Structure 1
Amino acid sequence: MTERGTALLERPERPERPAPPRAVSLPVGLIRTARPRQWIKNVLVVAAPAAAGQLGSRHTAVQLALVFTLFTAAAAAVYLINDARDADADRAHPVKCRRPVAAGDVPVSVAYTAGALLAAAAITGAATLCNAMTGALLTAYLSMQLAYCVWLKHVLVVDLAVVTTGFLLRAMIGGVALGIPLSRWFLITTGFGALFMVAAKRYSEAVQMEGSEGVTRVLLNAYTTGYLRFVWQLAAGVAVLAYCLWALESGGVAGQALLPWRQLSVIAFILAVLRYAVFADRGTAGAPEDVVLRDRPLAVIGLVWAAMYGLAVADL
């Protein structure tokens, strides 16, 4: 065999380049950049009214639909500005290069403008159509998320707190818009429940990236899997404890209820946490909405919990 033939055999194969993203129209690109799949997270706006048993009126339904829309607009504004800011870095990423802004389907200037307009519309709409406190919460959410995009995502522990607070604000804003007092146990359970899912997701990403090279989230290289495991286990424990205290606070069977449904709902809540922890422990707990929607037993447990809590609120 000739030297040239030997060299050809020894030459390492070049990794296949990802197929170039298919061009899309500007409106479609803007919608894709707004991450429609993430909108399901904003269903959390019904959490506080549901916990208080105030979902029966037409006014509540209309107000919650409005708050859902406003929070979706605010979240979309963050995605647009984030993708515009990270466009150059995303072009070098094997997956993120397909994002419309990185692919050139949405100009950077258009993404910035659309994001700014959505943010302004969300804050103005919340302040005028709901109340000043709702506008303040949306402003706090936008400020915190934009600070996360620019700086806070590079700060250890703070990045976890910011993402967790984003979920907590979603759960709070429905109650604030309707003037419903927020229970301390509701806030603690929701906050640590969110931290549990956020840390489980980061832990899963860290496990999947162990021993691999390439472009990954910067902080995944700073966190150890042991630390992230500690965080999600701690958060799960606090969330369960807070929920138990919340459920037992009523002190027995309320009114003419057939069974102590609120107390019995503790069983379903703990089962849901344990089921979710299976995926966290395996390192397969991705986006929370994907875990819940793809695992049928977890979805069934969630429905049982919702039914029990609904019976407790209705005093049946």
Structure 2
Amino acid sequence: MASLPKTSRRPVPLLVLQTMRPRQWIKNSFVLAGVVFSGRLDHVSSIGNALVVTIAFCLASGASYLLNDARDAETDRLNPRTAGRPIARGDLPVGVAYAASGVALLAALGLALVVNLASAGVVAAFLALQFAYTLGLKHVLFIDVMAIAALFVLRAFAGVVAVDARISPWLLLVTGLLALFLALTKRRGEAVAMGGQSNPQRPVLDYYSVSLLDELIGVVTPSVVVVYAIYTVLGASTDTMLATVPFVLYGIFRVLFLMHHRDRVGMTEEVDALVYRDAPLLACVVLWGVACAVIILTA
């Protein structure tokens, strides 16, 4: 009798890394905003500090993902989108995930502390809010998306304290509003994907409807544009930053287009992946970043 083939399994370190979701770490690029908008791109030490804190946030994010997947393993198995995660499919033991989460947490705090105490404090606040989100806030109507927005503000603020600089509070405000816009867009994608069915993994979706989310997005969208325009006039180091507003407008228009034509462009509820999946949106983000850097450095 022929023996059955053995199931191949990746090494544990690779499974841990997969569970830490490196593709999601693009969110931590918000940490680099501090060194860019403070005009310190020509300071090697500032760039180094910003990169170290960015890595710390990647580790902190990975720690929260490990905790989240370890806690939600049972419900993840019920969702086709998450059933393939290492813990849900049984390849990565829950105990190993918890241990790896603790190691990543300590490494994140240690790296941030190398830069300065303030950076470590912001990372600690980020971890506390991220774990609170994982343990319960993600199930509370409206608080879930507001918590996501706050996490992005903490990323941006960490970039500021890492280089010991001052930037306009308008920039932090627009960061939070933009994150809120993307979080609501993601919830809308999830609501559309569920088609009105209950979701044991995200009970909060039972309270969100597509029409409600459309209204909320309609409130937040103009707020992002207005606050960013105010920043370019009142908060930026030069009025020339006003020239970057069209990039922000196009980026928002593109996300809204993708949101309403998700079947045509193959968009999923993972809005975070849009930046590197959609070429026009990626080009817009890159051009905006280059324009901001050039304007600030030549101001």
TM-score where L is the length of structure 2: 0.88
Distance in 2 separating the partners of 1:83 and 1:293: 24
Moved over 4 A (4+): 211-216
Residue identity opposite 2:112 in structure 1: A
Distance in 2 separating the partners of 1:207 and 1:92: 18
Query: C-alpha displacement at 1:102, in angstroms?
Result: 2.2
Task: Within 5 Å, give how 1:118-267 maps onto structure 2.
Answer: 118-127=104-113, 129-212=114-197, 217-249=202-234, 261-267=240-246
The partner residue of 2:41 within 55, 62, 71 is 55
The partner residue of 2:70 within 84, 96, 106 is 84
Query: C-alpha displacement at 1:313, in angstroms?
Result: 0.7
Structure with the larger RCO, 1 or 2 (CA within 8 Å, 6+ apart):
2
RMSD: 2.3
Q: Which moved more, 1:275-284 or 1:25-34?
A: 275-284
Overall identity of the aligned pairs, in %:
31
Q: Deviations over 1:132-184 (max 9, x none)?
A: 22111111111111111111111111111111111221222111111111311
CA separation of 1:295/1:102 partners in 2, compared to 1, >3 Å: closer, same or farther? closer
Query: C-alpha displacement at 1:305, in angstroms?
Result: 2.4
Distance in 1 separating the partners of 2:258 and 2:231: 26
Query: C-alpha displacement at 1:244, in angstroms?
Result: 0.7
Query: C-alpha displacement at 1:195, in angstroms?
Result: 0.6
The partner residue of 1:102 within 88, 91, 108 is 88
| Contact 2:199/2:206 (<8 A) preserved | no
Match of 1:7 in 2: none
The partner residue of 1:73 within 41, 47, 59 is 59
1:301 aligns with 2:284: yes
Distance in 2 separating the partners of 1:301 and 1:103: 37
Larger Rg: 1
Residue identity opposite 1:296 in structure 2: A
Q: Deviations over 1:10-31 (max 9, x none)?
A: xxxxxxxxxxx95322112111
Residue identity opposite 2:180 in structure 1: L
Distance in 2 separating the partners of 1:250 and 1:101: 46
Distance in 2 separating the partners of 1:216 and 1:108: 18
SS for the counterpart of 1:249 is: helix
The partner residue of 1:277 within 251, 256, 261 is 256
User: Unaligned 5+ residue runs, structure 2?
Assistant: 1-6
Aligned residues: 289
Distance in 2 separating the partners of 1:214 and 1:62: 43
SS for the counterpart of 1:246 is: helix
Distance in 1 separating the partners of 2:161 and 2:235: 23
Residue identity opposite 1:199 in structure 2: L
Q: Which moved more, 1:215-224 or 1:107-116?
A: 215-224
Distance in 2 separating the partners of 1:43 and 1:250: 21
Match of 2:3 in 1: none
CA separation of 1:88/1:70 partners in 2, compared to 1, >3 Å: closer, same or farther? same
Query: C-alpha displacement at 1:233, in angstroms?
Result: 2.2
Residue identity opposite 1:200 in structure 2: T
Match of 2:4 in 1: none
Distance in 1 separating the partners of 2:219 and 2:143: 16
Query: C-alpha displacement at 1:310, in angstroms?
Result: 2.4
Distance in 2 separating the partners of 1:216 and 1:56: 46
Distance in 2 separating the partners of 1:162 and 1:170: 13
| Contact 1:204/1:282 (<8 A) preserved | no
Distance in 2 separating the partners of 1:120 and 1:216: 28
